Amino acid sequence: MDQIRQQIEALREQLHEHNYNYYVLSQPQISDQEFDRLMAELIRLEAQYPEYADPNSPSVRVGSDINKSFNQVAHRYPMLSLQNTYSEGEVSEFYNRVKKSLNEDFEIVCELKYDGTSISLIYEEGKLTRAVTRGDGQKGDDVTDNVRTIRNIPLILRGTEVPSYLEMRGEILMPWNSFDELNRERAAQEEPLFANPRNAASGTLKLQDSRVVASRRLQSFVYYMLGESLPTESHYENMTLARGWGLNVSSAMQRCQTLEEVFDYLRFWDRERRHLPVTTDGVVIKVDSLVQQRNLGYTSKFPRWAIAYKFNPEQAETTLESVSWQVGRTGAVTPVANLEPVLLSGTTVKRASLYNEDAIHALDLHIGDKVYVEKGGEIIPKITGVDKDARFMLGDKVTFTRNCPACGSLLTRNEDEAVHYCPNSAGCPPQIKGRIEHFVTRKAMDITIGPETISLLYDKGMISDAADLYSLQFNDLAVLERWGETSARNLLQSIEQSKSVPYERVLHALGIRYVGETVARKLAHAFPHIEMLMSATVEELTAVEEIGGRIAQSVTAYFSSADSLLFVDRLRKAGLQFTLSEETLADRTDKLSGLTIVISGTFALHSRDEYKKMILQHGGNNSGSVSKKTDYILAGENMGPAKLEKATKLGVKVIDEQTFLEMISL
């Protein structure tokens, strides 16, 4: 067994080193395939020998789909915000205040202010033990499991001179390429888009499923060191040492001797920030000496030794040439402004989002208007204003179309939504093609066919929905223009392989509105056979954790449609999976069938997450809140008083761990 343990530790050491080379030094030493091979071997050995588990193993980078509620943790050192400044004059005032207060020489450190979500990383004996969000500055959420999936945050620090207790303050970011990919996926599913990478990073960090967090490729920059025994009294020197320990410290950090050097830094990065792979919204200016920082102290809200200089948002002026309309797979009709090309944030902008009818009215747009455009983190930029003083010989006022631009159907709009829809889901070509495009995506059925091919097959009458893909014939495909036997064979092979895609992804592929990848997984595990999901009521659906009324109503509406039922039946006959795998079902029972159980408090025998899994495993529903539909509350120590009060009022039975375990062992 010693040999196995040594093998596991050697793999961990190799993978930690390769993570450092790739994510911190940007100097990979092995191929991605070799890295994946080493990781797969480590995961296999750790599963086979769980006695050698380690929370800081590189394998935690892949995340887990086990839900975890976040505990509130008090900060040892309060996480204060910084006072913002918006002009060089205000920077001068700060510099002169520091100079007057210290009455001695001092140096300033300038650092880029990354636009993400703040985090506190705690290392004990060189190992990451906890990661906590800013919260209210005094306490925050423990998001350690999610942070462990971020590959440029070291789980174990390098070197021998690391303090025994170390707290690193930093920022969690979503790079532009990850953000754009995420919003493209959400747009394809017609889910709400994230407004900017900061919101996307913050939302991702608070997800309950760390496997999803891992897939979104977040990054981190650290910018401050705290602890009782820091290596030096210089902030700059401490951060340089932190870089050597494997932490990701910005290479843009600069120590300045004079105010003019500070201004040079601000002006340089105001120009160059557009070329960075992550978002920045300013520069943080700090006194370098920790002794001088302590002498300067704090106001009630801010440190006196630092300020944040904020950049003005990038904006460009151009001409609105026309407005076009896009139809999505759910029938949502979106207006898009077509612009005279203009350079913005290093790219040429030709289109901008107009969102919906309300946004068009608010801008009072006319064709030919001079408009202001910002690239505020959207897939395509947005129009933020109109130069009405520049109007001359106005063109037509922009009004929202009343008919579908693709099929001519009269559009509808729900009272509580800003979006217009084309109701002709069965006959509107963009909707049909969009549903097929969604069906074949990598996270759904993973069929290697692109939008152009889908459009070609649809236009030639070879497919009218995704189920028709499973009826395609080799001879029909091989004779298509620019096709051949190899292309035809590859597509049919990919279609055949999709029949083994698990139920969770098939459910996602159906394209039910609001049912994305994560929701599909939750529904599949709560309703392990498609027949169970088809017959589920809104009440039964909302009893599933994180399934709200809007999702529940969308699911029931989908399965109440005769067309949807026929579509699912055709897919089933084609051989697709509409049941959880036998391996997953093997341990399932119906001992808790029809019961809704709320978990509250802390437990001695099993974790909350293990109890959640047991409830689902035995056919029950786990809910996060007490209602008249609740059958039991599984209560541990320190049960929430509000839940206890509501349970008493509603007559809900409260059971302890032992009683619950007896229920599922009978």
| Residue type at 4 in one-letter notation | I
Amino acid at 75: H
Torsion of CA 473, 476, 478, 481, to 10 degrees: -140
| Helix axes of 429-439 and 451-459: crossing angle, nearest 10 degrees | 130
Query: What phi and psi values does residue 54 have, to the nearest 5 degrees?
Result: -145, 120
| 509 touches 438 (CB < 8 A) | yes
d(CA 464, CA 613): 40
Task: Classify 219 as helix, strand or coil.
Answer: strand
The pairing of strands 632-635 and 653-655 is: parallel
CB 556 within 8 A of CB 536: yes
Sheet of 219-226, strands arranged across: 127-133, 117-124, 165-173, 219-226
Structure tokens at 380: 């395509």
3-state helix, strand, coil in the chain (%, to 5): 40, 20, 40
Compute CA distances 208 → 24, 63, 142, 144, 522, whole Å.
27, 11, 12, 12, 12
Which is the catalytic residue, given 113, 286, 375, 612?
A: 113
Please list, in sequence order, all residues whose beta carbon lies within 8 angstroms of the beta carbon of residue 406, skipping any fewer than 6 positions away.
327, 422, 428, 429, 430, 431
Query: How far are the Cα atoms of 8, 11, 68 from residue 59, in angstroms, in the given order?
Result: 11, 10, 18
Strands 382-386 and 412-413 turn out to be: unpaired
CB 128 within 8 A of CB 153: yes
- Separation CA 398–CA 108 (nearest Å): 52
Is 629 among the residues known to form the active site? no
Read off φ and ψ for residue 108, nearest 5 degrees.
-115, 140
Separation between Cα atoms, residue 478 and residue 467, nearest integer Å: 20
- Whole-number Å distance between alpha carbons of 180 and 351: 16
* Rounded-to-integer distance, Cα 220 and Cα 538, Å: 41
Give the distance, in angstroms, between the CA of residue 342 and the centroid of all CA atoms in the same chain.
30
Query: Which residues, listed in sequence order, are joined to residue 51 by a DSSP beta bridge?
Result: none
Question: Is residue 506 classed exposed, middle or buried when 0-12, 13-18 and 19+ CB atoms within 10 A define those classes?
Answer: buried
**Both tokens assigned to 315:** 């904006």
> 621-623 and 596-600: which strand pairing?
parallel
Contact status, residue 344 vs residue 295, Cβ threshold 8 Å: no
Q: Which amino acid is at 24?
A: V
Phi/psi for 645 (5° steps) reads -65, -45
* Rounded distance between C-alpha atoms, residue 509 and residue 526, angstroms: 18
Active site amino acids: 113
